[in-house]
Amino acid sequence: MSQHDDSHHGAPARQFSRSDRSDEHNRDLAERVAKIESLLIAKGLVDKQALDRLVELYEHDLGPMNGARVVAHAWVDAAFKRRLLENATAAIAELGFGGLQGEHMVVVENTPQVHNVVVCTLCSCYPWPVLGLPPTWYKDAAYRSRVVTDPRSILAEFGTALADAVEVRVWDSSAEIRYLVLPERPAGTEHLSEDQLAQLVDRDCMIGLKKVRRS
Amino acid sequence: MNGIHDLGGLTGFGPVRAEKNEPVFHEDWQRRIFALNMAALAFLGPVDRARHAIERMNALEYLTTSYYEHWIVAIETMAKDLGYLTDEEIQTGQAGHRKPTPHPAPSAAMIEGLIRGGMPANRDDSQVKPAFDLGTKVRARNLEIPGHTRLARYVRGKAGVVTALHGCHVFPDTVAHDKGENPQPLYTVRFEAKELWGDNVTRRDCVYIDLWETYLEPLHEGQ
């Protein structure tokens, strides 16, 4: 889905993921987790089927394809867009999305004058029902530390240049309110269907790092 | 606490490294530790307890371990604090004792119900009058808080404007420490970049952050 490349070629592609964890280290971690799993099952704290179902839900059902449907619907239905900006939790529920880490949704709209970006500086809060689990960079220190103080430098790293006159609003998810950015609909997409529009909307646009482009 | 997790406004962590077509999990142990933390929620308690377990990590360890390694620490710490696991059991993987549980482990259907239904953090606010109206100028208090808090360091002592009121939400500073939910008004407050980062800042940027009433004080004209 994401078309942009890492703007820092030569840098390790993923900090703190497999690339800088040796196979041996990963084996140790796997062993440590397996011990916890068998202990918690033995002690009646978790159910094995529940673990499998959890993984399945977050790998397949909950992801940015849900948020993309919300965005595309808001682009084609002005009344829905009004409801979305007024009470996002209820409007998103109309499309069948909601639940854990999406109980209190707020949608913020990008315009030619205002550009919104979402972060959680204290941990990794993120709107799971509409975006799924966050990417590694969203949880890393580099993003969380710098986006509040210099959002434009990070936007530039994602290939997004904004005029000085544009106001950048950074939303720090410090409570249980979860934020979703409603990107601007690109020009020249009037002929596209709602499904086709949803295909254009990727995760980074809904966190606010990129603009949606006509494919 | 002034923990290393409170990263907002620091510099020196290098570029943001985005991975193209990143998978949800890179390793199977990440899948398992995510699912374990979620499936055990009913016994481990509020999410702020989990956050605080991670915040208490050694600062250097926090910065040099990956996200899901933090989740390993979270579940081990909480299970030990609550008496479900001992260090020895975690070392050996052999269950030595069994603390009685108030109910059986939630089934797959119950967990799915929890995920789809959510756990709202707001509480009845019919009897509560918020101290601050929309548009009110406020200052984030400068407080020394030894335990868990969501009052990010970079806004403490800074002046902003209330832009939204979200009703009464469970208060993290107490719920993380078993001192009750103490629901209180939650606000979104807008801070200008110049106020947060320095008098010489000219960028047209601002930060919106959610703050509980306890974290705020009125800002009087001329301040």
The percent of residues above 70 in pLDDT, for chain A, comes to 91
pTM, rounded to two decimals: 0.95
Minimum-distance CB partner of B197 among A142, A149, A169: A149
B92 pLDDT above the threshold of 80: yes
- Taking contacts as CB-CB distances below 8 angstroms, the residues of chain B near A57 are 112, 115
* Per-residue model confidence (pLDDT) at position B203: 87
**At residue B66, what is the residue type?**
S
Strand bridging mode B184-192 / A177-182 = unpaired
**Catalytic one among A7, A124, A145, A153?**
A124
Q: How far apart are CA A146 and CA A137, in angstroms?
A: 12
Q: Is a pLDDT exceeding 70 seen at residue A18?
A: no
Quick check: A5 pLDDT over 90? no
Compute the average pLDDT of residues A79-105. 98
Provide the pLDDT for residue A20.
66
Condensed to tens digits (0 to 9), the pLDDT of residues A27-81 reads 999 999 999 999 999 999 999 999 999 999 999 999 999 999 999 999 999 999 9
Identity at B49, one-letter amino acid code? R
Which residues in B lie closer than 8 A to residue A167 (C-beta atoms)? 204-206
The DSSP H or E segment spanning B169 is strand B159-169
The residues facing A118 across adjacent strands are A171
- For residue A6, pLDDT beyond 50: no
- Which amino acid is residue B82, in one-letter code? L
What local confidence, expressed as pLDDT, does residue A199 receive? 97
Structure tokens at A72: 């595309």
> What is the model's pLDDT at position B97?
85
Are the beta carbons of A177 and A102 closer than 8 angstroms? Answer: no
Compute chain A's Rg from CA coordinates: 19
Overall average pLDDT of the A180-198 stretch:
97
Using CA atoms, how far residue B155 sits from A47, A87, A145, A148, B67, in Å, is 42, 27, 13, 11, 25
The reply to whether residue B17 touches residue A13, judged by beta carbons under 8 angstroms, is: yes
Coil, strand or helix at B219: coil
Confidence check: pLDDT of A87 > 60: yes
In this predicted structure, the answer to whether residue A12 has a pLDDT above a threshold of 50 is no
Q: How many CB pairs under 8 A join A and B?
A: 306
Q: Residue range A98-104: average pLDDT? A: 98
Beta bridge partners of residue B184, listed in sequence order: B169
Residue A125 annotated among the catalytic residues of the structure: yes
pLDDT digits (tens, 9 = 90+) for B175-223: 999 999 999 999 999 999 999 999 999 888 999 999 999 999 999 866 6
pLDDT confidence tier of residue A17, bands split at 50, 70 and 90: low
The confidence band for B99, taking pLDDT boundaries of 50, 70 and 90, is confident
Taking 60 as the threshold, does the pLDDT of residue A10 lie above it? no
B162 bridge partner residues = B189
User: Residue A23: its pLDDT value, please?
Assistant: 86
**What value of ipTM does the predicted structure carry?**
0.97
Residue B52 has pLDDT above 60, yes or no: yes
Average per-residue pLDDT for chain B: 95
Write out the DSSP string of chain A: ---PPPSSTTS-SSTTSGGGS-HHHHHHHHHHHHHHHHHHHHTTS--HHHHHHHHHIIIIISSHHHHHHHHHHHHH-HHHHHHHHH-HHHHHHHTT---TT-SEEEEEE--SSEEEEEE-SSS----HHHH-SPPHHHHSHHHHHHTTT-HHHHHHHTT----TTSEEEEEE--SSEEEEEEPPPPTT-TT--HHHHHHH--HHHHHTSS-----
Can you tell me the mean pLDDT for B3-14? Answer: 96
User: Active site residue: A2, A123, A174, A193, which one?
Assistant: A123
Distance from CA of B221 to the nearest CA of A (A): 25
Indicate yes or no: CB of A98 within 8 angstroms of CB of B122. Answer: no
pLDDT in tens, B139-170: 999 999 999 999 999 999 999 999 999 999 99
Distance CA B189, CA B169 (A): 15
CA distance A212 to A197: 10
Cα–Cα dist B1/B152, whole Å: 10
* Whether A40 contacts B40, CB under 8 Å: yes
Q: Would you give the DSSP letter of residue B13?
A: S
Q: Give me the residues of B, 3-32, that contact A with CB < 8 A.
A: 5-22, 24-29, 31-32
User: What's the confidence (pLDDT) of residue A16?
Assistant: 57
Q: Which of residues 132-151 of B touch A (CB under 8 A)?
A: 150
Taking contacts as CB-CB distances below 8 angstroms, the residues of chain B near A11 are 14-15, 17
User: Measured between beta carbons, which residues in chain B are less than 8 angstroms from residue A99?
Assistant: 114-118
Q: What's phi and psi for A178, nearest 5 deg?
A: -115, 135
**pLDDT single digits (tens) A30-45:** 999 999 999 999 999 9
Flag whether pLDDT at A115 surpasses 50: yes
Residues B3 and B58: their CA atoms lie apart, in Å, by 9
- Measured between alpha carbons, how far is B146 from B157 in angstroms, rounded to an integer? 17
Supply the Cα-derived Rg of chain B in whole angstroms.
20
Tell me the average pLDDT of chain A.
Answer: 92
Reply yes or no on whether the pLDDT at A154 is more than 90: yes
